Structure 1
Amino acid sequence: MKKIGVLNSDLSAVIADMGHQDWLAVGDAGTPVPKETSKIDLSVKNGLPHFIDVLDTVLIELEVQKIYLAEEIKAANPEILTEVKNRFSDRVIIEFISHEQLKQNLKRSKAFVRTGEMTPYANIILESGVVF
């Protein structure tokens, strides 16, 4: 039995399969997921699990070089924005795009991880880096 990190077998497999510049998205319970994107649904109930808890667990295993956030998060959810920024060093590029563009970009993501988060614009696309 796996002791640490991501215990969900579907999510663990996606992370293990990530290559340089592949995308993995994590988001709130209301995000529409394109049919062509694999959805890993971790939501249990309103607020469970929290977006930040899932992000923290993914970041234990995934090397990230760039993140994409919706521009709208700045005004609509500054608390989550602060939490996200606190998790990345200056070496990680943060790019703000429109929420509509972020939803379109989910088509390019290997998977979308649905959390139980019930706050607006709690969505992120993680671009995989390399560890060397």
Structure 2
Amino acid sequence: MKRAGILNRRLAGALAELGHGDGVLVCDAGMPIPDGPRVVDLAFRAGVPSFAEVLDGLLDELVIEGGTAAVEVTEANPDAAGLLAARVPDLRLVPHEELKRLTAGARLVVRTGEARPYANVLLRCGVFF
């Protein structure tokens, strides 16, 4: 059994399969998930686990070179916007409809129980060297 880090076996396994340039969508409970990407659904109840908890856990495990979020997050969800600005390097903001289109190219989707709007980010994996 793992001592620390992400304990969810499906999520830990999916993270181990990621490579440079792969996309990981971390999303709220309401984000439409396209067919194609592998999905690890962590949602339990509204707000549990939160977007912030899941994003922080993923960022502790992954090398991220950039990310994309919806520009609407800045007004609709300032807490999520602040978290993204502080934690995601090279953050690009696009209209929500464009973000939804981009998610089709994600390799992995991690759905949270977040119940506040626009708490979504498409992370782009980097390399550790």
**In 2, are the aligned partners of 1:5 and 1:58 still within 8 Å (CA)?**
no
- What's the counterpart of residue 78 of structure 2? 78
Describe how 1:80-99 pairs up with structure 2 within 5 A: 80-88=80-88, 92-99=89-96
1:118 aligns with 2:126: no
Q: Which runs of 4+ in 1 moved over 3 A?
A: none
- What's the counterpart of residue 124 of structure 2? 127
Counting matched residue pairs gives: 129
**In 2, are the aligned partners of 1:14 and 1:110 still within 8 Å (CA)?**
no
Describe how 1:1-132 pairs up with structure 2 within 5 A: 1-88=1-88, 92-132=89-129
Q: Matched residues in 2 for 1:95 and 1:86: separation?
A: 13
Q: Shift in Å at residue 86 of structure 1?
A: 2.0
Q: Matched residues in 2 for 1:30 and 1:76: separation?
A: 14
Deviations 1:53-109 (A, max 9, x none): 001111111000001010111111111111222224xxx211111111111111111
SS in 1 for 2:87: coil
When normalised by structure 1's length, the TM-score is: 0.93
SS in 1 for 2:103: helix
| Structure 2: stretches of 5+ with no match in the other structure | none
Q: RMSD value over aligned CA atoms? A: 1.0
Q: Matched residues in 2 for 1:112 and 1:42: separation?
A: 10
| Structure 1: stretches of 5+ with no match in the other structure | none
When normalised by structure 2's length, the TM-score is: 0.95
Counting aligned pairs with the same residue, the percent is: 39
